[in-house]
A = this chain, B = another copy of it.
Amino acid sequence: PTNSREIAGAGTALPSWNEGSTKQAILDFVEDVTNPQSANYIEPKDRIATFDNDGTLWSEQPVYFQFFFAIDRIKAMATDHPEWKDQQPYKAILENDMPALMEQGMAGLLKVVMTTHAGMTTDEFEKIVSDWVATAKHPTKNRPYTDLIYQPMLELVKYLQQNDFKVFIVSGGGIDFMRPWAEDVYGIPKDRIVGSSIKTEYDYNDGQPIIKRLPEIDLIDDKEGKPIGIHRYIGRKPVFAAGNSDGDLQMLRWTAANSAKSFKLFVHHTDEAREWAYDRDSHIGAFDKGWDEAKEKGWTLVDMKEDWKVIYPYELDSVD
């Protein structure tokens, strides 16, 4: 702290971040824009922070966790669909034949998404996701997916919230896939979760109102869709944005276009031992143009290996 003003959480903030320029840049920014005496002061109502989810708040390897959800759902639903054993893309999934699944291309993947994410009510889907999150385990980490969240990012979310930032998730993942668990896991309320969505239909249903999930895309909240999602759901430009891939570049540019001082952050996956290491050529979370632009514009790059004491909350026990 550069003055004696009380910063919420300062001193104890970001304990899982190593001391260094990355942590200091975050602390300095929050110090500056929350200081009423600063020329860069930002009123609380304008303190909007947006976080990508996959690869920014939790892991995303070997593939997006929502993909594992879809695979598990196809297998669970297959008992009611004996015909799937001879039909693509279901056959490939039931035979655990990922190359054959990939051969089905985008059309095949979209079919899997719609089969598993549409055709039920919103209440039913919420329960399906909640049940899956409570029981499913990551194939190599062998832990619940919600164990694979980033402890340092949790601390960053909390630190911003303590300083009167409104923290939103803005993810390419499904809004209704995240809502059932993200509120408890991240401390980010349901109404501050923005994601990709499908269309819905209201039905009075003989006095029992329901909302049905339709197999039709509404918003793809990725790349150009992120500023659009931010405008749709939040209505003002962020002053803080965090992502990890080229899919976040437009969100960070939109944030940089704010007339107020802003903070742009990319998480760079550099830790092969504790998490995964990937960037420019990755099939998931490719970080290429975003990396170049971050270096050119002086945005903050988080080096997971260097900047983070631990990756996951369950590692905290082993740290003094």
A interface with B by C-beta (< 8 Å): 45, 48, 122, 166, 168, 175-176, 179, 183, 189-193, 197, 200-202, 204, 208-209, 211, 224-225, 227-228, 231-236, 250, 253-254, 257
Contacts and interface: CB of A to CB of B under 8 A. Distances in A.
Nearest to A192: B191
Per CB-CB distance, the 7 closest pairs between chain A and chain B, nearest first, are A190-B235, A202-B224, A202-B227, A209-B257, A191-B234, A179-B235, A209-B253
A303 to B, nearest CB: 27
Query: Most chain-B CB neighbours within 10 Å: which of A168, A209, A211, A236?
Result: A209
Identical chains in the assembly: 2
Nearest to A224: B202
A183 B48 CA distance: 15
Contacts of A254: 202, 209
6 contacts: A175-B235, A191-B233, A191-B235, A202-B227, A208-B257, A209-B253
B231 A183 contact: no
Contacts of A193: 235
Contact of A228 (B192, B200, B204, B235): B200
Contacts of A48: 191
